Structure 1
Amino acid sequence: MAILVHRYDSPDRFVAGTVGQPGERTFFLQAREGNRITSVVVEKQQVSVLAEHLDKVLDEVLRRSGPTVDVPPAREKADDVDPLDAPITEEFRVGTMTIAWDAEINKIVIELFSNVDEDEESEDPADEPELSPAAAAALEGVAEVDADEVFVVKISAAYARDFVARAQALVSAGRPPCPFCLQPLDPAGHVCPRANGYRRPLF
């Protein structure tokens, strides 16, 4: 079966963003190139994992390549803090994510797959595919991916650092934790399990 590929080799923008209020947010990854926009739905944890692995790949590239490759240091604040571009149309929900460094073009390559079926025969860690010295995968233990669609984005190291800073801020901007049980506080009220089901004052 042919796979539908949404490819962005030189996107004008690639960001993580949300729609909805804290506690009811839907997370998206979105790329725009000219008038073309592709948006896919991800879990909050997937955004966090993607950001973490992007940083790790860039740090490894910097360590191995040194000054021959322009890899900026990690950033605390992103330049791009604008909302997602409209219209926001869900193409698919992301299952598997892979990340690699393309040394020929000096760019990060991110692949986001839909409808993932893991290769059940590859359960032994020794069967995992080997990564090149300057590449890493965000998903471990998957030898083959069967998907209906794939979202492929290629971005520079500098843009990847900006993506990471925005993604980390996005993930941490959710509901604040309860000081007693550390579960997210609901704007409508919070029944703390450590209070045996009773609401207790914070102060």
Structure 2
Amino acid sequence: MPTIVHEFDWPDRVVVGTIGPPGSRSFYLQVRSGSRIVSIALEKEQSALLAEKIDEILDQLITLEGNPFSIPTTTPIEIVDNDPLEQPVAAEFRTGSMSLGWDPTTVQFVIEAYPVDEDDDVRDPAEKSEMLLVRISVGTARAFAKRTREIVGAGRPMCPLCGYPVDADGHTCTLPDV
């Protein structure tokens, strides 16, 4: 069976966004190029880890002598994207495994996402029937990571006593055993 590849080179927009109230949010990675939009569902933890790893790689690349890739130290203001997800959001698939790579020949990050298999926890990448493949510039990657960290952090506040999330309708604090 041939693999359906949702491929984006230099997309117009790539963002993580949510639908739903804090505590019941669904996370999506959404990519747009022209009028073509692809959204995939992913977990909050996957979003946070993706942003963390992008920033780690960018910070490592900055330390290379002479910063040969012109890595921005902060998010370029002209590419900040705080707009909501484009509607309607229809996920192509729920993400299982993801990979993040760096291509020094094009000075781009390469993000790959594969669907969760209903039979196994995660499909073997060699047997995938569908995937998302996105290549983004370093500036876009910095903006993506910043926005994603903000989206992840915008959930329910944490209880200062027990460290668990506080729901909008209340919270029963369970203090850890001391």
**Common fold, TM-score beyond 0.5?**
yes
Q: Which residue of 2 aligns with 1:171?
A: 152
In the alignment, structure 1 residue 63 sits paired with structure 2 residue 63: yes
Query: What secondary structure is seen at the aligned counterpart in 2 of 1:193?
Result: coil
**Structure 1 contact 57–100 (Cα < 8 Å) conserved:** no
Q: Normalising by the residue count of structure 1, what TM-score does the alignment of the two structures yield?
A: 0.78
Identity %: 41
**Equivalents in 2 of 1:66, 1:72: separation in Å?**
13
**Equivalents in 2 of 1:65, 1:40: separation in Å?**
37
Q: Which residue of 2 aligns with 1:49?
A: 49
**Equivalents in 2 of 1:71, 1:179: separation in Å?**
37
User: Residue type matched to 1:72 in 2?
Assistant: P
**Structure 2 contact 75–139 (Cα < 8 Å) conserved:** no
- Please show how residues 15-34 of structure 1 align to structure 2 within 5 Å: 15-34=15-34
Q: Give deviations 1:73-131, integer Å, cap 9, x for gaps.
A: 1449871100001221110011111111111211111111113335xxxxxxxxxxxxx
- Please show how residues 2-151 of structure 1 align to structure 2 within 5 Å: 2-64=2-64, 66-75=66-75, 79-115=80-116, 116-117=122-123, 144-151=125-132
Question: In terms of Rg, which structure is larger?
Answer: 1
**Structure 2 contact 109–141 (Cα < 8 Å) conserved:** yes
How far the C-alpha of 1:65 sits from its partner, in A, is: 6.0
**Equivalents in 1 of 2:65, 2:11: separation in Å?**
25
Unpaired stretches in structure 1, ≥5 consecutive residues:
119-143, 196-203
How far the C-alpha of 1:10 sits from its partner, in A, is: 1.7
Question: Residue 139 of structure 2: which of 158, 164, 182 is its match?
Answer: 158
**Equivalents in 2 of 1:91, 1:20: separation in Å?**
18
Classify 1:65/1:12 alpha carbon distance in 2 versus 1 (closer, same or farther; 3 Å). farther
**Equivalents in 1 of 2:168, 2:76: separation in Å?**
28
**Structure 1 contact 181–193 (Cα < 8 Å) conserved:** yes
Q: What is the RMSD computed on CA atoms of the aligned residues?
A: 2.0
Structure with greater proportional strand content: 2
**Equivalents in 2 of 1:105, 1:194: separation in Å?**
51
**Equivalents in 2 of 1:33, 1:25: separation in Å?**
25
**Equivalents in 2 of 1:66, 1:7: separation in Å?**
32
**Structure 2 contact 26–41 (Cα < 8 Å) conserved:** yes
Q: Give deviations 1:38-60, integer Å, cap 9, x for gaps.
A: 00001000000000111112223
**Equivalents in 1 of 2:70, 2:28: separation in Å?**
28
**Equivalents in 1 of 2:165, 2:32: separation in Å?**
33
Q: Normalising by the residue count of structure 2, what TM-score does the alignment of the two structures yield?
A: 0.88
In the alignment, structure 1 residue 185 sits paired with structure 2 residue 160: no
**Structure 2 contact 12–33 (Cα < 8 Å) conserved:** yes
